[in-house]
Amino acid sequence: MKLRIPKLKEKADLDLTRGRELRKSFLVRVVTPIYGGGVEAGVPDQQMPIRGSAIRGHLRFWWRLLHPELEGTELFQEERRLWGAMSEPGKDYSSQVRLRVREVRGIHPEPCAKYKWNNEKGQYMGTPCYLHDIPSYALFSGKGELSRDGKYEKTSPCDVLLPRPEDGKKGEPLTFVLEVTCPQTIWENEVEPSLRWWASFGGIGARTRRGLGSVVVEEIEPVTEGEAEWVGCRLIPMHKKAVDDPILAWKTAIERLEAFRQRPPLGREPGNDPRKPKKLGRSHWPEADSIRDVTMGPGVSYRHAPKHPAHPAFPRAVFGMPIVFHFIGNDEPDDCVLRPKEHDRLASPLILKAMRVADGKFVPAALCLPTNALELDLLLDNSGDANNTNLPKDYPSGQWWPADETQAKVTADLIPAMKGRDTTDALEAFLDYFDKGK
């Protein structure tokens, strides 16, 4: 089944004559840790943690989402007129919207995780302990890296900016003032809607689609389910799990995704070693066995022979790419990467948030953006210095996941997380799980 495409609406007229200017200031409160946001990727800038240029980039993205009737050259021209672009000889493409960040308060940098030392083995434990209630599944890219022998940290866990001081420490919550100046004629229909969507589902820094750097602007009303549906999105807020603490709501949303993709009974088999209760069994998803099947070749055997009945299939590609597959052990495939054939990446259409609702509480929320990912051609390739003559391998649309609806239903029912749901798309299956909890 194809994913949703936005319903087209009549073209909006953009009146960008400057005329009378409007200036508004908003107090913005950060409610989940900020990851990155500085000049260096994944590193917060303690001197300038909030950048107006970065917020402008977010607003441009949401503006594009809110104008599905514009395409190609027309979209580019209208976006350039409103939000600005690089100047050309004799042409000035200054932005009609000017942003200023001021009065940043409450900067609290702390490591996101810590590796614990194992005295018995004389090395660090392989998995770090995440701090500050940060769900590890939301920030696995910031965990750092140990040496091969586990005796030292090659890369330490990244720092994050906490939304408030740790318990027992003095200080202010992380807030800033965002000043927006634009022609009054474009505020109501162009700028304010983009700002509302950013405040509801965007944020500051990296990995905002997994809920990091979420913000609250008290003067701005959150986006509703009906408004999301109108532009081809699907919004599912867990109103029954409304809480005062945004971190708790965020963790609940992330844990749903982790359970769906990686935890027993849906994502994996349970472990069978009572001495290692945290060690899990094989994945219930078919991607790993699909890779084993492709790379095995004559005279090659793996510790885990392919056995998943749905392979070859890569249903989780719709959650975003590239996906790096890391196999543990010398008798397993080398690391592989799955990506769109004609592109470097596909941004995840799934956004998980602690969403503020009307009464000031926060609910776990999932927003699925419009996408046509199932129509992409994919490429499975080596990662690093691996050398496998069976790779790279092309998977045209319809081969990495069945295009025929009947065959897609048969394949989906072979995957526990998707079995018995009224969909053959992994994203839709997750939204069903997110909503029902089962």
Q: Any idea what the CATH number is for the domain that residue 197 is in?
A: 3.30.70
Q: How many helical (H) and strand (E) elements, i.e. helices and strands, does the chain have?
A: 9, 19
Residue at which a domain ends, from 198, 232, 266: 232
244 falls within a domain:
no
Distance CA 242, CA 384 (A): 44
326 falls within a domain:
yes
For residue 275, the model assigns a pLDDT of: 64
165 falls within a domain:
no
Residues 312, 296 contacting (CB under 8 angstroms): no
* Domain match, 325 and 385 both: yes
* Domain match, 228 and 327 both: no
For residue 92, the model assigns a pLDDT of: 78
For residue 203, the model assigns a pLDDT of: 95
CB half-sphere exposure, 47, CA atoms < 13 A: 1
* Helix (H/G/I), strand (E/B), else coil: 73: helix
323 falls within a domain:
yes
* Domain match, 63 and 178 both: yes
Range(s) of the domain holding residue 331: 250-436
* Domain match, 378 and 271 both: yes
7 falls within a domain:
no
Domain count of the chain?
A: 3
* Domain match, 300 and 189 both: no
- DSSP character at residue 126: S
Residue at which a domain ends, from 128, 157, 186: 157
* Domain match, 334 and 396 both: yes
Tens of pLDDT along the chain (438 residues)? 344 444 444 333 444 444 589 999 999 999 999 998 877 777 888 888 899 999 999 999 999 999 999 888 999 999 999 998 877 777 778 899 999 999 999 999 999 999 999 888 888 988 899 999 999 999 988 999 888 888 989 999 999 999 999 887 888 999 999 999 999 999 999 999 999 999 999 999 999 999 999 999 999 999 999 999 999 999 999 999 999 999 999 999 999 999 999 999 999 998 776 666 567 788 999 999 999 998 887 777 888 888 999 989 999 999 999 999 988 877 888 889 999 998 889 999 999 999 998 788 999 999 999 988 899 999 999 876 666 778 899 999 999 999 999 999 999 999 999 999 999 999 999 999 999 999
* Domain match, 209 and 324 both: no
Q: DSSP characters for 151-215?
A: SSEEEPPPEEE-SSPPTT------EEEEEEEEEHHHIIIIIHHHHHHHHHH--SSB-GGGTTT-E
Distance CA 438, CA 433 (A): 5
* Domain match, 334 and 375 both: yes
10 falls within a domain:
no
* Domain match, 310 and 373 both: yes
255 falls within a domain:
yes
85 falls within a domain:
yes
Q: Which residues contact 429 (CB under 8 A, 6 or more apart)?
A: 260, 412, 417, 418, 421, 423
Q: Residue 277: how many CB atoms within 10 A of its CB? A: 9
Exposed/middle/buried for 222, CB within 10 Å: 0-12, 13-18, 19+? buried
Measured over the CA atoms of residue 252, residue 254, residue 260 and residue 262, the dihedral's sign is: negative
* Domain match, 202 and 305 both: no
* Domain match, 261 and 351 both: yes
For residue 270, the model assigns a pLDDT of: 87
* Domain match, 302 and 348 both: yes
